Amino acid sequence: MSRYDVDSVLALVDEVRFAFQPLINIKTGAIVAIEALARPAGAHVQDLFREAARLRRLTELDVSLAVEAVRAAADHESLLPLHLNLFGGTVVHDRERLELLREALHDVGRREQEITLEIGPPFARIDSNSLLEGVGKLRSEGFQIALDGVGEGDIPLTLVGDIGPATIKLDRAVVQGLPDDPARIAVVESVRHLCESTESQLVAEGVESDRQLNALRRNGVRLVQGNLLAPPGRRPPTRSTVPGVAAEVSDPQGPSVNTLASGPRVTEFLSPATMLSMDATADQVREVLADHTEISGVVLVDEHNRPQCTIDRNRFLLAVTGPYGHALHAKRPASRLADEPRVVNTGTTAIEALSMITGSDPYRMYDDAIVVDEADRCLGAVRAGDLIRGMAEMKVEEAAALNPLTRLPGSDAIARDVARRISAGEIFAVSWLDIDEFKSVNDTAGFSAGDDLIRSIGRSLTDAAAALSSVQVGHVGGDDFLLVSDLDDLAGLADSVLGPSRKAGDVDVTVSLATLVCTAQTVADYDQASSKLAPLKGYAKELRGCSWVMVRPGSNRIEVLRGQATGAPPPQAPPLTSTPPPPAPPQQAPPPPPPHGFPTRDPEQMHHNRF
C-alpha cells in the first residue's frame, strides 16, 4: 500500500465494504449476533490500519470504520445484535470520538444495548487503569463489552478478570491447532474455566473443519464463528438459525464435559431479542414482524432496556389483521396487545425455565422466556422449542449413560460432580464401594444371584442418596460403585452401606468401602481422585468383614474405621458416633502390605475414629 496523506487515508473509508459473519450457538443452531468485518477495496484492512498508524490517526480510522459498519448493517435492515471491533488504544486515547458511534446508532434507530464492542490488542503499552475507566464508561452507556484475541494476543489474564467482559473471543490461532495439539486443548480448557468464573460467554472464532468443531463441542464451547458454519456475507443473514450445527449434540467417543449437576443454564439457549420502546405503536410492531419473518415476538422495553411486556407474533398478527383489526389498533400503543414478560436471570437452569413455561397458561405455552442481567436489562430470549429439544436431548444422553443393571449413572456423572465441588472450593468425600469375592459369589450362587445382589446394593445406595441430599451415586461397572458426599453425610452413608447383612443365595456377602476426603488443594480433578482411591480400595479388601478405610487431606495415614486384619478375630464394628474403643490386641498374622505411597502401620497402631 502506498503512503497517503491523512485525508486520503480517511477517504478510503468510503471505499470500504463490510461483510457480516454470524456467531452461532451450536447447541441450538441459533444465530445470536453478527460481526461486521471491514473489507477495503484492493487492500487488506491491516494495510489501512498500518498507514493510519504511521500518520498517527489510527483511532480516528478505528472509530470511522465502526460508524460505517453501523450504517451498513442498517442499510440491510438487520435487527440482529451487532459486534464492532475497536482497539484498546482507541478506548483509552480517543474516548470522546466514540460519541460519534452513539450518534450513528441513534440516527439508524439502534440502541447501545444491541451493540457489543470487541476490544482487541495490542494492550502492552496501554495503562490498565485508563482502559478500565474507559470500558466502565462504555458499559454505563449500555454497550456490551467483549475481549478479542484471547489466547494469542497480549491480553493479561488479570485484565480479563478486572474487566469482566460479557464475551471472551478465543483467537483463531488457538482453534487452528485443534484437536491434535494438546497445548491448544489446554488453552481452550483454561479459557473456558476462566469464563465460568467471570460469568462470560466464550466464543471460538476461525472454525474451519468438523474436527475443530467437535473438539470445541467436547470441551464445552457453545458459541462459535467460522467459515465451516457460515462464511462472511455481503448481507447479514436473514434466517435465525443455521441448519445442521446442532445435529450432533455431543461426541459419543469424547470425554464428558464438566457441567453443573443441576443442568445447563438458560444462557446456553440464548437467542437475540427484538426490542422496541414501550411507546411503539401496533403499526410499528406489525411492520417489524412483516419484514422479519424469522422473529417469534417482540419485547417492549423502557428507557433502561428493562422488559415491560412481550408481544407474541401469532397472537398479535391475528388481532391486527382480523376484522377491523387495523382500524382498532394501528395507531394505538402495541402494549395493549402485549402480555406480562416471563423473565428469568442468567443463573436460571434450563429445566427451571422449562418448568415455568410448561406451568403457565396453555395459550402462552410456547412464548419466549426473556433473560435479564443483574440490573434487569434484557439480554435476549430463550425459545420454548429450543428448551424442549435441548432437555429431551440431554435426557436421552443421560439415559444412554445409565448402567442397564442398576439404572444408576456411570463415571461421567461422578466426574461432573467432583469437578463442580472442586470448582466451588468444597471439602467433600469420594468413596469406592466394592463387593468382596464377587467372582466366588457368581461361581457359588450363580450369575442371576450376583445380578440380584448388585441390584440390591444399587437400590440401597439410591435410597441413601434420596435421604442424604449431598450424595451422588454412580455405578462404574461390574460390582464397583462410586459415591460423592458432603462430610456431614458421610457417616450416615457408610452406615447405610455397611450396616445391613447381605446374602447371595446361601453365601454371606461383605463389602469394602474406601474413602478419600478431598479439597481443591489435594485433588485437581476426578482422574486424580480416582488414582488415589485405587490403592485404598485394595487395602480395604485385605481386611476381614465389611471394611471401611479413609485418608484425610494432608495425611498419608490410613484410618481403619471398620474391618480387621486377616487372621484376627473380627471385633464388633463400633458405631461411628461412639468414643474410640481400645486398640485391638496384637495379631499373629502379618498385616497386609500398604498401598504404594502410604507408610507401613501395624494393625494395633490403627484405631477406630469417629468422623
User: What are the structural domains of the chain?
Assistant: 6-245 (3.20.20.450), 275-389 (3.10.580.10), 404-605 (3.30.70.270)
d(CA 313, CA 262): 32
Q: What is the DSSP string of 429-465?
A: EEEEEEETTHHHHHHHH-HHHHHHHHHHHHHHHHHHH
The residues that bridge with 20 in the sheet, in sequence order, are 36, 233
pLDDT of residue 135: 95
Residue 480 region by backbone torsions, left for phi larger than 0, else alpha for psi between -120 and 50, else beta: beta
Q: Give the phi and the psi of residue 225 in degrees, each rounded to 5.
A: -150, 130
Tell me the CA end-to-end span of the chain in Å, nearest whole number. 75
Identify the pLDDT of residue 254.
Answer: 41
The grid coordinates of residue 504 equal 447371595
Would you state the pLDDT for residue 394?
A: 67
pLDDT of residue 263: 64
pTM metric for this prediction = 0.62
Q: Where are the beta strands (DSSP E) in 288-368?
A: 297-301, 307-312, 343-345
What pLDDT does 9 receive?
57
CA distance 25 to 270: 8
Q: Distance between CA atoms of 342 and 304, rounded to whole angstroms?
A: 18
Q: How far apart are CA 510 and CA 507, in angstroms?
A: 10
CA distance 374 to 602: 58
Q: Within the chain, which residues score under 50 in pLDDT?
A: 1-6, 247-261, 568-611
Q: Cα dihedral angle (445, 446, 448, 449), rounded to 10 degrees?
A: 10
- Cis-peptide into 243, omega within 30 deg: no
* Predicted local confidence at residue 362, as pLDDT: 75
Task: Name the 3-class secondary structure at 157.
Answer: helix
> Which residues are within 8 A (CB) of 324 and not within 5 positions of it... i.e. 6 or more apart?
none
Contact 504, 452 (CB under 8 A): yes
Q: 23 in the Ramachandran plot: left (φ > 0), alpha (ψ -120 to 50) or beta?
A: beta
